Chains A and B, each alone.
Chain A
Amino acid sequence: MRQSEFRALKLKALWQGLIGRDGGAANRIVPPTGFTAHLTLFSAGAMAFLAVFALALALATERLADRWASELSQSVTVRVSGQQQEQEALTQSVLDILQTTPGAGQPRLLDQDEVGALLTPWFGPDMPIDALPVPDLIELPITGTDFDAEGLRLRLEGEAPGAVLDDHTEWRRPLVSAANRLQVLGIISLVLITAASAAMITLAAKAALAANGQVIQVLRLIGARDITIAIAFVRRFTHRAAIGAAVGTVLGMAAIALLPDMQAAGGFLTGLGFSGWSWLLPFLVPLVAAVVGFFATRWAALKMLESVR
């Protein structure tokens, strides 16, 4: 019987107590407790700060995976290596083949400057590219679904030995996979942060409830229903969780906004952040914190009230 009675602490009634005007009276029956108040505010704030970063990580890696997957799958590269005197003719022959390839757009031979830019990370800016036996690189955009990479590879082998097709699959796959895994880690972090927040708020609520055992006994003695007592605690801890998380979220968003600009610095880490409408997503963090505070305190209150007749 008792268990079903506790379930009767209806969510609707608690919610009304949470937002209702008479909640102020419920709030006053619980003595102000500095320790648990500060603990809850700090925990919620710290967790929200971390949650904003985990959210930014998840979103950034999602963008990265999409970009790598889409950009790199839109073109292939043909590398042409031959004897110095045959190189030009071989390259022209490959260009001719590529121009007649179904599903492919206009092939483009990369000039010396572009090839130099690609090699600079390995050889440095002072290396004379002209002196190296660098193959010609042809970029071929893929424009149709009838493009057959394997067919083109066989044709090049037959008609232009020395030309090698690189469709980027070999090195694109692990990058996309890594980005997807980072995204999963970001999501797992969000889940863990939520669970840890729930645990901390539950502990703080239990400490507050234990410290106020006498208050609860007095309230029961004068005819207070369980819902009235539970509202007093749920209201207080939900508000604290929401306020702490709001502060942590704003600080986290400010920290993200202050990261170096993606275009200015380049690279993955500087892409960590929000863009466009995704700047709105962190505002869900205080809401989630309030929901977590609501349910964690409700659970703790029910456990406590079970022991008081």
Chain B
Amino acid sequence: MIEMQDVSFGYRAGSELLSGMTMSLQPGMFHFLTGPSGSGKTTLLRLCYADLLPSSGKLSVFGQDVAGLSRDGIAMLRRRVGVVHQDTQFLDHLPVAENVALPLSVSGQPADIEAMRDLLGWVQLSQHARALPPSLSGGERQRAALARAVILSPDVVLADEPTGNLDWDMSMRLMQLLVELNKTGKAVLVATHDLNLIRAVKAQVSARVLRIAGGGLQLAGAEL
């Protein structure tokens, strides 16, 4: 699904933030990506949805080398990858329901009202369907972002510090949704530096923890 072979990336020539990255994300897998701030977690996720291109190495997503993708090819790839950011942006002039349905709209698919109702119910935002995004709390925004990320039924969900602004209860609620998604066969990759969160989730689902350290990627130790 997502295959990295000896991938390196640097924002400036001659200065690599990530190097020798090799990993594989297959259907039904739940991965955590951890590491200190600035270690390159976000950069690694951006590589996964082709927002950045590797400086070297090979990165394949759904069997396609991202370096050879056209702009339309990248758009098609992103329809199969749901992304949730810590500070997920919305179109603030559109209600929550329309924001959640936006991937359907831009991909030319009709919105199924019943499915939309179910999805908003799943993330417990039914009563906020007509609210504008600025009126949502941090937790509500993250759940709306998750709903938007999964509305096209993507094969992979990438979450970048999705609980960064949330309290513990709200964080666990969001992680519970990601676990439920994983149990439907979706691959999930969550970048976080919250080790307690990782331990709590690992109690519910079999998850691998990858750590970025010194620009490289390694499997985390037994402490997790």
Contacts and interface: CB of A to CB of B under 8 A. Distances in A.
Interface of A: 1-2, 5, 8, 22, 25, 28-29, 31-32, 214-215, 217-226, 228, 309
Contacts of B94: 28-29
13 contacts: A1-B70, A5-B72, A31-B91, A32-B93, A214-B89, A215-B91, A218-B89, A218-B90, A221-B78, A222-B148, A223-B76, A225-B75, A309-B51
Nearest to A5: B71
B108 A22 contact: yes
Contacts of B97: none
A221 B72 contact: no
Contacts of A224: 75, 106
B155 interface: no
Given A25-B105, A31-B91, 11 more contacts: A5-B70, A28-B98, A215-B91, A219-B106, A222-B79, A222-B103, A225-B72, A225-B106, A226-B75, A309-B51, A309-B74
Contacts of A222: 78-79, 102-103, 106, 148
Nearest to A33: B93
Given A221-B78, A221-B83, A226 B72 contact: yes
Contact of B92 (A1, A31, A220, A309): A31
Contacts of B103: 222-223
Contacts of B76: 223
Contacts of A5: 70-72
B70 A29 contact: no
B22 to A, nearest CB: 24
B189 to A, nearest CB: 16
Contacts of B107: 223
A5 B49 CA distance: 19
Contacts of A220: 75, 78
B91 A218 contact: yes
A29 B98 CA distance: 9
Contacts of A1: 70
B150 to A, nearest CB: 11
Nearest to A25: B105
B166 interface: no
A36 to B, nearest CB: 15
B152 interface: yes
Q: Chain A interface secondary structure, helix, strand, loop or mixed? A: helix
A302 to B, nearest CB: 11
A223 B90 contact: no
A25 B148 CA distance: 17
Contacts of B148: 222
Contacts of A218: 89-91, 102
A215 B90 CA distance: 8
A2 B75 CA distance: 14
Interface in B34-77: 49-52, 70-72, 74-77
B71 A29 contact: no
Query: Which of A8, A22, A220, A221 gathers most chain B CB within 10 Å?
Result: A221
Contacts of A25: 105
B91 to A, nearest CB: 6
A217 B70 contact: no
B217 to A, nearest CB: 23
A203 B70 CA distance: 28
A223 B74 CA distance: 8
A214 B76 CA distance: 20
Contacts of B72: 5, 8, 225-226
A28 B79 CA distance: 20
A28 B91 CA distance: 10
Contacts of B49: 221
B89 A29 contact: no
Contact of A29 (B52, B75, B77, B106): B106
A57 B75 CA distance: 51
Contacts of B93: 31-32
B152 to A, nearest CB: 7
B71 A225 contact: yes
B106 A228 contact: yes
A63 to B, nearest CB: 52
Contact of B152 (A29, A221, A223, A225): A223
A136 to B, nearest CB: 84
A254 B108 CA distance: 44
A309 B75 CA distance: 10
Nearest to A222: B103
